[in-house]
């Protein structure tokens, strides 16, 4: 990829936002940090990353609930250009991942262009100026290019349950954990049985007096093949040339073998389903409870979870799995459809995130005066290659529509999109182009092919309803092919698919007047 020559930053490091930047990046998680590092390496130093939090980390900064850990092996859940030979486990926990991101940011020397504690309120395309006007709670920034890296798992989704606002005890979402709440001996309820809940429940079961777990749909849960790296292995990973890359490649290739079961032939996942059923039998002694936690859809239709501890936690005497629908919440408890009220002291909401309705889309206004949310409301989330959107010039979205995964590391996707964005910026620079946006027909063809391919997947044929699907019944969340294919599609910028606006050239008279 060609190197771009840019001027030095227009502002030295302080707490203020610059009035104008070449590139404004929103979000300081894996996406924002990776973008910053690669832009800096390319010589594009005139950029700023803003984030409402106090440090880098994104999801791994905000999700600090008990038991928080990654479902992807550590060796693959890190930047390829910033390997971490110090992982202590094959599946890393939240504190270790967050520490890795903070260390990577420091070592890359890009933190001087991060502004924390900054909330983006609105971003509006200025057609006359060919720039984005981005309003934040710390002032307005004019940006030639806007990159959003806020992610699909950043804004918690609260359940619409009658009376939930009337609850008199402590209540909090799993992604906004209240660490001041002492749950020892308390009566606690957890709503949800998704990826966060199955990590939280075993930890709570160790300390609370009684725990109610409210399940709407039973998930498939396979064993977690986690282990601590012994000292000798950690030393080898640190000092033997190429060993860590070999580990990473092995994990990547192993994960890619899952793709056919998700995207082409769901029935070949039967062995994994048998493994999951064995996990139930091993963890739960009560046949009736086993039946209630056994899914009635094909493995993979919803997110496949991993845990060795969740089923044994449900099998404990002071833990109750509740499968009757929740009717309402009272000031003192939860009432189910059968009329039973279970009194509690603390309510933990583990009901996921806004994925098919990204909150940031409500704050980005394109050329025709409509927000991204309004555009997407018509037909669902769509983008070209999950990264650019017709009607929104010079807007690049990392982890955009149909870039999610059901089997491997999102860091691989993020790096692929960053590569594509860098190539687009190089094209702007080298060809005197002010703006690019995908042609509507190119975006339409991309999504039509993608949705045709999606019909073959377990997400459409598996017999379930999931957060992967939007209100139109379309899967706008996941990528329906291999990661090799995704990397190839994003390897180079393809200007033929884009409408380009030349840079405005000033006349000698205008320059003299200035």
Q: If you write DSSP's letter for every residue of 135-161 in order, what string do you get?
A: EEBTEEEEEEEEEE---SSSSBPPP--
Task: Single out the residue of 369, 2, 351 nearest to residue 197, CA to CA.
Answer: 351
**Torsion angle of alpha carbons 450, 452, 456, 462, nearest 10°?**
90
Q: Which two tokens stand for residue 198?
A: 């199955």
The total of other beta-carbon atoms located within 10 Å of residue 293's CB is 23
Q: Which two tokens stand for residue 16?
A: 């203020």
Quick one: which H or E segment has residue 6? none
Task: Single out the residue of 23, 242, 20 nearest to residue 139, CA to CA.
Answer: 20
Residues near 367 by beta carbon (within 8 Å), at least 6 away in sequence: 125, 127, 391, 392, 393
3-state SS assignment for residue 510? helix
Q: Exposure of 40 by Cβ count < 10 A (0-12 exposed, 13-18 middle, 19+ buried)? A: middle
Q: Which two tokens stand for residue 245?
A: 């890359």
**C-alpha 357 chain-centroid distance:** 13
DSSP state of 228: B
Whole-number pLDDT of residue 159 = 83
CB–CB of 174/197 below 8 Å?
Answer: yes
The phi, psi pair for 138, rounded to 5°, reads: -120, 15
Task: Single out the residue of 450, 445, 435 nearest to residue 392, CA to CA.
Answer: 435
How much helix, strand and coil, in percent to the nearest 5, is found in the chain? Answer: 35, 20, 45
CB–CB of 351/193 below 8 Å?
Answer: no
Cα 309 to Cα 183, 204, 214, 363, distances in angstroms? 19, 12, 17, 41
Per-residue b or e along 18-29, where b marks 16 or more CB atoms closer than 10 Å to that residue's CB: bebbbbbbbbbb
The phi, psi pair for 140, rounded to 5°, reads: -100, 140
Residue position matching structure tokens 């009329």: 339
Residue position matching structure tokens 């017999």: 463
Whole-number pLDDT of residue 354 = 55
CB–CB of 418/486 below 8 Å?
Answer: no
Task: Single out the residue of 483, 497, 499 nearest to residue 417, CA to CA.
Answer: 483
Distance CA 247, CA 237 (A): 9
Residue position matching structure tokens 């929104």: 392
CA angle at 5 for the pair 22 and 419, rounded to the nearest 5°: 70
Per-residue b or e along 153-190, where b marks 16 or more CB atoms closer than 10 Å to that residue's CB: bbebbebebeebeebebbbbbbbebeeebebeebbbbb
Give the residue ranges of DSSP H helices in 227-330: 231-239, 243-256, 259-263, 270-283, 287-292, 310-314
Distance CA 158, CA 172 (A): 10
Task: Single out the residue of 288, 300, 427, 339 nearest to residue 1, CA to CA.
Answer: 427
Per-residue pLDDT of the chain (514 residues; tens, 9 = 90+): 333 333 333 333 457 899 999 999 999 999 999 999 999 999 999 999 999 999 999 999 999 999 999 999 999 999 999 999 999 999 999 999 999 999 999 999 999 999 999 999 999 999 999 999 999 999 999 999 999 998 665 567 778 899 999 999 999 999 999 999 999 999 999 999 999 999 999 999 999 999 999 999 999 999 999 999 999 999 999 999 999 999 999 999 999 999 999 999 999 999 999 999 999 999 999 999 999 999 999 999 999 999 999 999 999 999 999 999 999 999 999 999 999 999 999 999 998 765 556 788 999 999 999 999 999 998 889 999 999 999 999 999 999 999 999 899 999 999 999 999 999 999 999 999 999 999 999 999 999 999 999 999 999 988 888 878 888 888 999 999 999 999 999 999 999 999 999 987 654 434 444 4
Distance CA 498, CA 431 (A): 13
CB–CB of 334/344 below 8 Å?
Answer: yes
3-state SS assignment for residue 468? coil
The total of other beta-carbon atoms located within 10 Å of residue 487's CB is 15
- What is the full DSSP assignment across 167-224? --SEEEEGGG--TT---TT-EEEEE--STTHHHHHHHHHTT-SEEEEE-SSPPPEE--
Task: Single out the residue of 63, 37, 59 nearest to residue 49, CA to CA.
Answer: 37
Whole-number pLDDT of residue 355 = 55
Task: Single out the residue of 482, 488, 491 nearest to residue 408, CA to CA.
Answer: 482
């Amino acid at each position: 990829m060609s190197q771009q020559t840019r001027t030095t930053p227009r502002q030295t490091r302080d707490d203020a936002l610059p009035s104008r930047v070449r590139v404004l990046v929103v979000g300081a998680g894996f996406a924002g940090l990776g973008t910053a590092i690669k832009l800096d390496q390319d010589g594009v130093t005139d950029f700023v990353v803003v984030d409402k939090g106090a440090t880098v980390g994104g999801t791994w900064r905000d999700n600090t609930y008990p038991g928080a850990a990654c479902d992807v092996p550590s060796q693959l859940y890190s930047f390829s250009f910033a390997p971490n030979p110090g992982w202590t486990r094959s599946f890393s926990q939240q504190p270790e991942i967050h520490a890795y991101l903070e260390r990577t940011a420091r070592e890359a020397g890009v933190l001087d262009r991060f502004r924390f504690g900054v909330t983006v309120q609105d971003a509006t395309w200025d057609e006359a100026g060919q720039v984005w006007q981005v309003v934040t709670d710390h002032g307005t920034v004019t940006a030639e290019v806007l990159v959003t890296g806020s992610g699909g798992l950043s804004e918690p989704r609260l359940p619409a349950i009658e009376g939930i606002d009337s609850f008199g005890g402590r209540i909090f979402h799993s992604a906004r954990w209240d660490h001041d709440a002492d749950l020892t001996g308390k009566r606690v309820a957890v709503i949800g049985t998704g990826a966060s809940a199955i990590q939280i429940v075993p930890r709570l079961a160790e300390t609370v007096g009684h725990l109610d777990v409210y399940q709407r749909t039973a998930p498939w849960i396979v064993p977690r093949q986690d282990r601590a790296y012994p000292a000798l292995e950690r030393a080898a990973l640190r000092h033997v040339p190429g060993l860590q890359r070999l580990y990473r490649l092995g994990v990547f290739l192993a994960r890619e073998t899952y793709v056919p079961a998700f995207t082409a032939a769901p029935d070949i996942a039967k062995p994994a389903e048998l493994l999951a059923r064995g996990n139930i039998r091993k963890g739960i002694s009560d046949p009736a409870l086993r039946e209630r936690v056994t899914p009635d859809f094909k493995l993979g239709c919803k997110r496949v979870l991993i845990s060795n501890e969740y089923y044994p936690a449900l099998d404990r005497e002071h833990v109750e799995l509740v499968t009757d629908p929740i009717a309402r919440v009272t000031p003192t408890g939860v009432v189910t459809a059968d009329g039973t009220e279970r009194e509690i002291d603390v309510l933990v909401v583990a009901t996921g995130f806004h994925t098919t309705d990204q909150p940031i889309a409500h704050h980005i206004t394109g050329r025709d005066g409509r927000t991204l949310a309004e555009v997407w409301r018509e037909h669902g989330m769509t983008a070209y290659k999950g990264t650019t959107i017709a009607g929104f010039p010079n807007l690049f979205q990392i982890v955009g529509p149909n870039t999610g995964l059901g089997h491997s590391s999102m860091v691989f996707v993020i790096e692929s999109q960053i590569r594509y964005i860098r190539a687009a910026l190089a094209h702007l620079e080298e060809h005197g182009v002010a703006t690019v946006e995908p042609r509507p027909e190119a975006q339409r063809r991309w999504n039509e092919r993608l949705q045709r391919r999606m019909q073959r997947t377990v997400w459409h044929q598996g017999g379930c309803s999931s957060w992967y699907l939007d209100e139109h019944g379309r899967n706008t969340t996941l990528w329906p092919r291999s990661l090799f294919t995704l990397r190839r599609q994003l390897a180079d910028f393809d200007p033929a698919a884009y409408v380009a606006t030349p840079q405005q050239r000033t006349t000698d008279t205008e320059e003299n007047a200035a």
